[in-house]
Structure 1
């Protein structure tokens, strides 16, 4: 039921954006990256990437969004949007349905991989009396905002595990935290790279709430089993078993010989690709802690790499940059 709701949302999202003429004119391109909510990891990664572009005097606008689905659709439908961070299970889901669904096929046409990023842990903050994932049966559960990766992941996990909540609430994690503390819901999902600001910046009562372990064998077979180390958050002294999905930086396959918009966008994609490689040590040292686990060569299967990314990572490519990178 939840998954079919997601498919209806996908169709509505594509139809709503279908009036935009993507790349149809020849104006210069501004650069932007679609990220996520203010309390999430995506937006911090976007700011880190914007900072390395700024070294070259190039502005990369960091755009807050609902999350993965909005980001993926924006690469085709939103002007001046060259990058978006997307969860790998959203990619796999779209790829699977693109084979038989023309609507989904249109949504991903021309969308390409830029780089793999990091594993995003599934956080489920719940009342203390809910001891395991199966305990979400009959409970009031928030599953993330519509058009977010959290929404899809939570929907899939609930369906795969045969969970039947008494109520499913589609709201953003920061709103869900307030509702959990007020007693209006019993648990909420949030897919984010640890440490997630939502949990580290708020004084969560560890006597009332805890991160729910995910030890379901079906889910462990579909997703990557992982462990949140004890002390990742102040309210969480002990390790917590959960699962994870990979965050991936996506782009569009611009034509470097096309109109001015395509040429400028392709140059921006190539420049950022080159700068990510040359600044990866700086990003690991000064950026979000998740940069330390990023392997830029760990490409997910089934998706092509952008032509403009391939150009940028060529050893002979020189970024359009007047400032030397560290």
Structure 2
């Protein structure tokens, strides 16, 4: 009798264990967060910081944002284009123009440029040209050593464009990431470097000291009659005095807009949730996230050619 009762008890416990194990796992599977991958740029950069804010808040809305570090804005475009599992990235508006410039010479560039779609405008990124204080203007970098930013970054594209249009002819051009650029300038291995980032840039405040004797040089586009191309891409900007502890005077420079982007044939189920997350919770991001969130205005999307705006953005 005891033996029979023992077996019955084992069967009952076995059924209960199966029930308890099966039901929670089934529930978790049903309610597991949707995973969406975003190409974010270098982990030391602003794009990654903004994406970390998105990742943190998204979990409260049952979204699992998977951040994919890259070398920067240009690499983000290539990453999203080449990988079907990565539907979103962050880039700069001048990179779209850069790709269009090469569209007639390269089939891959043409396909990429034609299919990029903006999902949401983010923030303006100011162009920093940083040197020691013995250099007085951008033109004085002719014959000197300049870092244009890490290969694949938006900075490298912007810097190359401006070097050409400002007729700067460096003796040597290096492709160093931001921390390496700061260190190289400090050691006098280079004479200046470009960095495109929304202000205030944490890395510039934390890595540069007043005693380094660095400065941000003024930048302005040369006047070119009937040339609206550059004027539409780069707008005038001012870095207020004391944007950084080592920069005590206001500086006139240029800025470029950053965008959350996707491609024309992307599944909106993996794009629209992120766009809605930003639109509907922008106040939270502006209060709790990276300071650049305060410059985000979704209405800026209306300034783009409608053919360049993703259909997923309006859903």
Quote the residue 2:12 is aligned against: none
Structure 2 segments unaligned to the other structure (5+ residues): 1-33, 225-229
Report Cα offsets for 1:163-189 as digits up to 9, x if no partner: 101111111111111111111001010
Relative to structure 1, is the Cα distance of residues 112 and 216 closer, same or farther in structure 2, using a 3 angstrom cutoff? closer
- Quick check: 181-190 or 35-44, which moved more? 35-44
- In 2, the alpha carbon distance for the partners of 1:218 and 1:124 equals 20
Contact preservation (8 Å) 1:127, 1:187:
yes
What is the CA-CA distance between 1:71 and the residue it aligns to? Answer: 0.5
Asked whether 1:198 is paired with 2:203, we answer yes
Quote the residue 1:309 is aligned against: 313
- In 2, the alpha carbon distance for the partners of 1:160 and 1:239 equals 24
Quote the residue 1:110 is aligned against: 115
What is the CA-CA distance between 1:279 and the residue it aligns to? Answer: 0.2
Report Cα offsets for 1:146-170 as digits up to 9, x if no partner: 1111001000100001110111111
Quote the residue 2:244 is aligned against: 233
- Aligned runs of 1:283-322 on 2, under 5 Å? 283-299=285-301, 300-302=303-305, 303-311=307-315
- Aligned runs of 1:207-226 on 2, under 5 Å? 208-218=213-223, 221=231, 223-226=234-237
**Among candidates 272, 275, 283, match of residue 273 of structure 1:** 275
The answer to which structure has the higher helix fraction is 2
Structure 1 segments unaligned to the other structure (5+ residues): 1-28, 256-261, 312-326
- In 1, the alpha carbon distance for the partners of 2:171 and 2:105 equals 33
- What's the RMSD between the two structures over aligned residues? 2.2
- In 1, the alpha carbon distance for the partners of 2:202 and 2:211 equals 16
- In 1, the alpha carbon distance for the partners of 2:77 and 2:290 equals 22
Relative to structure 1, is the Cα distance of residues 131 and 206 closer, same or farther in structure 2, using a 3 angstrom cutoff? farther
Quote the residue 1:159 is aligned against: 164
- Aligned runs of 1:1-326 on 2, under 5 Å? 30-98=35-103, 101-206=106-211, 208-218=213-223, 221=231, 223-254=234-265, 262=267, 266-299=268-301, 300-302=303-305, 303-311=307-315
- Quick check: 73-82 or 179-188, which moved more? 73-82
Report Cα offsets for 1:209-239 as digits up to 9, x if no partner: 1111113534984621101111111101111
With structure 2 as the length reference, what TM-score do the two structures score? 0.81
Contact preservation (8 Å) 1:254, 1:308:
no
- Name the SS of the counterpart of 2:300 in structure 1: coil
Relative to structure 1, is the Cα distance of residues 164 and 96 closer, same or farther in structure 2, using a 3 angstrom cutoff? closer
- Quick check: 298-307 or 170-179, which moved more? 298-307
- In 2, the alpha carbon distance for the partners of 1:306 and 1:146 equals 28
Q: Which of the pair has more CA radius of gyration?
A: 2
- In 2, the alpha carbon distance for the partners of 1:251 and 1:216 equals 30
Q: How many residues align?
A: 275
What is the CA-CA distance between 1:269 and the residue it aligns to? Answer: 1.3
- Name the SS of the counterpart of 1:106 in structure 2: helix
- Name the SS of the counterpart of 1:147 in structure 2: coil
- In 2, the alpha carbon distance for the partners of 1:181 and 1:207 equals 7
